[in-house]
Structure 1
Amino acid sequence: MKPTPLTEAPTDAAARKKIKPVVCYPTDTLPRPDLAAYRALRDDLELVETVIVPPRDAATWEVPAGHFCRIVCSEGAQVGDLNLFNLNDLNEKFYSGKTRALNGTHVGLGDQLFSNFPYLRPIATITHDTLDWYGFDEFGGSVHDVIGTRCDPYTNNLLTHGGQYHHCCHSNLTRAFARKTGKPIHEAETYIHDVLNVFMCTGFTRDTGQYFMKASPVRPGDYLEFFAEIDLLGCMSACPGGDCSSEHSSDTAACYPMVVEIYKAQRLPRGWAPPSVNDYDCSHGLEVA
């Protein structure tokens, strides 16, 4: 619980609270994908690869630019923590914070996933979501959030006063990334970043502003699908919290494997071209000699 405020409210407190909010990033000028052009390709896709993500572990896969990737709930309700990288430059990776600022706390059909600075460009476009019916519930919860970071052994250690749990999503992602790239484990860890929580149902409590999770509404056969705007390396952990209805960082929750399917389209979307790296000059106001 948060402590009782120590500061007396000003006489105009009510008026200050009634001031209307202003959206931080008006997106009227943000280029939007032609979703119809992407979806026109979906009826004639060729499955080219299937990857199984084991429960309480992680796996990697590659998605060539112009291909579709589906993350599928297979045997039971299960949440996945997703990292995305530029396959050809691992320093460019998914930026959940800016994706959140431009799209909202949860992503879905038509939203784009953006990469970090100095690249800042859309690297994937969500083309289908079988959970788009969920919307926001009475608690303010929704699915596919970009507000949570990922369960990790450091926070677990802090909250359990010394616990050493190695199957948190952060550790799972680190191991899988190290296996894929050949990087030493401590170097690999530095590449792991805040995630897209696939299928996870989350929000913020209205009284205390705390991040909450609840049982995912995902059913076997549900999937989230995206189109790769650039060559991507995917890395996903099947969270040890299962459907995240009670806890994560746990060996007691029911956990299930997840399936990743890569599809090749018979053609590229009408008018499509790979997005260019952000063209800010990176001078930050200083003249370059």
Structure 2
Amino acid sequence: MGREPSDAEARRTAPPVICYPPETLPAPDLSVYARALEDARVVDRVRVPPRDAATFRVPAGHLFRIVSVEGPQVGDLNLWAADDLSERFYSGKTRALHGTHVSTGDQLWSCFPHLRPMATIVADSLDWYGIDGDGGSVHDVIGTRCDPYTAQLLSGAQYHHCCHSNLTRALAAEMGVSVAEAEPHVHDVLNVFMCTGFTRDTGQYFMKASPVRPGDALTLWAEIDVLGALSACPGGDCGQAHSSDMAHCHPLDVEILAPSKEVPGWAPPARNGYDGSHGA
């Protein structure tokens, strides 16, 4: 262990600087989305079974709503551009721009070189939760997704219903390809409804029982044509177990909603304007 220098306290108390000041981000006009949501109608509904995943497609300028049904349940969300799987949700950059947890007004950004909003959160029935006394909050972009490789590493378990596995099988079925071909496209997720944070003493990622209840929903506006996949996590509300057949699990619904009329002032976002002609 290194010897503490005489100016250690001064070094520790250097003021924090926000890396990406949010006031420089283009701010979505939430009133536009609110008006579209008022009279939008459900045109499709996908039921995601417990400990499984399902895919769905949302045209640009439509909404999709992830709904808790029957009991408290968290879900792992992947998003891709519907016509190009190489453009996918970038949880790390979304975290850098919006923080560790997202809610109304935050956007889900795609990977390089596209770096544009894929979806905007327009309503969140759990936005009342805030940050609790443990430092926990809801809808995180810090967890990667439960996966069979980490389960094998930590416990020697051959578990086949981790969210990574569920998402991989669902994407393979959607695209008509093998699981091996689909797996590289599965990526770090938005943990919908999951309550998480970092412990203050060790900095470890923790989960606790989600506050979600039947009827709670997260509603997003599709900024581009998206293909989505949602896994109903085998941890249930993640209050006790992770990747377990012992947890009480419930289905989730994904509702696709169409606005009743054209939304004035909205257009799909262009891909990022960075000129890479001189090299990335």
Gaps of at least 5 residues in structure 2 are none
Q: 1:248 aligns with which of 213, 226, 242?
A: 242
- Number of matched pairs: 280
After the TM superposition, which segments of 4 or more aligned residues of structure 1 sit over 6 Å from their partners? none
Aligned equivalent of 2:57, options 62, 85, 110: 62
Q: Deviations over 1:217-249 (max 9, x none)?
A: 001000000000000111010000000001211
Structure 1 residue 36: Cα displacement? 0.7
If the length of structure 2 is used for normalisation, what is the TM-score? Answer: 0.98
Counterpart in 2 of 1:144?
139
**Cα distance between partner residues in 2 of 1:53 and 1:284:** 45
Deviation, 1:27, is 2.6
Distance across 2 between alignment mates of 1:196 and 1:262: 18
Structure 1 residue 26: Cα displacement: 1.4
Provide the C-alpha distance between the structure 1 equivalents of 2:244 and 2:22, rounded to a whole number of angstroms: 40
Counterpart of 1:12 (choices 2, 7, 12) is 7
Partner of residue 155 from structure 1, selected from 150, 162, 168: 150
Name the CA distance, whole Å, in 1 between partners of 2:54 and 2:83.
18
Could you tell me which residue of structure 1 aligns to residue 107 of structure 2?
112
Tell me, in whole angstroms, the C-alpha distance in 2 between the residues paired with 1:166 and 1:49.
29
The equivalent residue for 1:259 is: 253
1:48 partner letter: V
Residue 222 of structure 1, aligned match among 211, 216, 223: 216
Aligned mates of 1:16, 1:61 — CA distance in 2: 50
- Is 1:281 the counterpart of 2:275? The answer is yes
Question: Equivalent residue for 1:3?
Answer: none
Could you list the runs of 5+ residues in structure 1 that have no partner in the other structure? 1-5
| SS of residue matched to 1:197 | strand
Cα deviation 1:65-120 (Å, max 9, x = unaligned): 11110000000000000000100111111000000000000000000100001110
* Amino acid in the other structure paired with 1:100: R
Q: Tell me the CA shift for residue 270 of structure 1.
A: 2.7
Q: Secondary structure at the match of 2:174?
A: helix
**Residue 203 in 1 paired to residue 212 in 2?**
no
Matched with 1:37 is: 32
Q: Deviations over 1:106-149 (max 9, x none)?
A: 00000010000111000100000000000000011000000000
Cα distance in 2 between the residues matched to 1:207 and 1:42? 43
> Which residue of 2 is the match for residue 213 of structure 1?
207
AA matched with 1:102: L
In structure 2, the residue matched to 1:76 is 71
Question: So what's the TM-score if we normalise by structure 1?
Answer: 0.95
RMSD between superposed Cα atoms in Å: 1.0
2:175 to 178, 181, 187: 181
Following the alignment from structure 1 to structure 2, what is the Cα–Cα distance between the partners of residues 268 and 8?
A: 65
Partner SS for 1:100: helix
**Secondary structure of the corresponding residue to residue 40 of structure 1:** helix
Opposite residue 243 of structure 1, the aligned amino acid is D
Structure 1 CA distance for aligned equivalents of residues 276 and 133 of structure 2:
44
Determine the C-alpha separation between the residues in 2 that align with 1:176 and 1:182: 10
